[in-house]
Amino acid sequence: MSTARGLHAQVLDTLGQRIVDGDLAQGTVIRPELVAEEFAVSRSVVREALRVLQSLGLVEPRQRVGTQVLGIGSWELLAPTVIRWRGASPAYFVQQRELLELRLGVEPVAASLAARAVSTAGAEAVTAAAEDMLAACDRDDSRAYLEADVRFHRALLEASGNAVFTHFAGTVEALLRTRTSESRDTITRWTRDAAARHDAVARALVRGDGDAAAAAAAELVRVTRDEFIAEAPAG
């Protein structure tokens, strides 16, 4: 990564995280000259970072006002970058619940489509990932478990044959990866039971049983959602 690129990433990540954390509240005007001074970067680096934030719906330039911070209603909440920032913010549990509820409407349908598509390659990719999750449990290897989990959900969505579901895989991956830095809940302590629920989806895909695949996928996501709701801090 070039020096300019690294500076851009630093400014972008810091400003994005401040907005998501609420340190830069809705309506706040971001002064490029002050940002440039704080990070010891050029105005062009700041402008580039602000353009990215604008594309993600976090800020908006306004005539005679400047670049103003927008509220969450304008944010691209499915963008992996925004998911990463929210995952490191006080909104961690809220985001998990919201996106698990969305996944509950998507992944069972994807599993049903994948089973009925009778794609050998798709079923094999899902099965291999599920088997790797079980093997990671046996080795007590959390990193391998996470990587296999990411591969499982990506393979499942891709096997559906639905281009929109395939695109959604990036959102799911970003959400799964936010768990690695979260220590307040038991979800980071993955279990063999969770791996077995993934394996049940894979087995239904191999059988070509769309109803069973949808039911297993719904159970998988529903249990995870309920665990997050139970672990969320009160208030």
Domains of the chain: which residue ranges?
3-73, 80-231
Are the C-beta atoms of 75 and 7 separated by less than 8 Å? no
Decide if 15 contacts 53 (C-beta within 8 A): yes
More confident residue, 183 or 212: 212
DSSP 66-88: EEEEPPGGGS-TTSHHHHHHHHT
pLDDT for 32-86, tens place per residue? 999 999 999 999 999 999 999 999 999 999 998 999 999 999 999 999 999 999 9
Q: Which class in CATH covers the domain with range 3-73?
A: mainly alpha
Predicted local distance difference test score (pLDDT) of residue 13: 97
Query: What's the pLDDT at 87?
Result: 95
**Residue type for position 191:** T
pLDDT band per the 50, 70, 90 thresholds, residue 235: low
Exposure string of 66-89, with b = 16+ CB inside 10 Å and e = fewer, is ebebbeeeebebbbbbbbbbbbbb
CATH class of 80-231: mainly alpha
Model confidence at 187: pLDDT above 60: no
More confident residue, 180 or 29: 29
Q: How confident is the model at residue 231 (pLDDT cuts 50, 70, 90)?
A: confident
pLDDT of residue 34: 96
Does the structure show a pLDDT above 70 at 3?
no
pLDDT at 185: 45
Cβ atoms within 10 Å, residue 219: 14
- The residue among 210, 209, 200, 203 whose CA lies nearest residue 108 is 210
Which residues partner with 30 through β-bridges? Answer: 67
pLDDT above 60: residue 139: yes
The pLDDT of 169-174, averaged and rounded, is 96
- pLDDT band per the 50, 70, 90 thresholds, residue 194: very high
Mean pLDDT value of segment 90-99: 94
The separation between the first and the last C-alpha atoms of the chain, rounded to the nearest angstrom, is: 42
Whether pLDDT at 186 is above 50: no
Confidence at residue 2, expressed as pLDDT on a 0 to 100 scale: 56
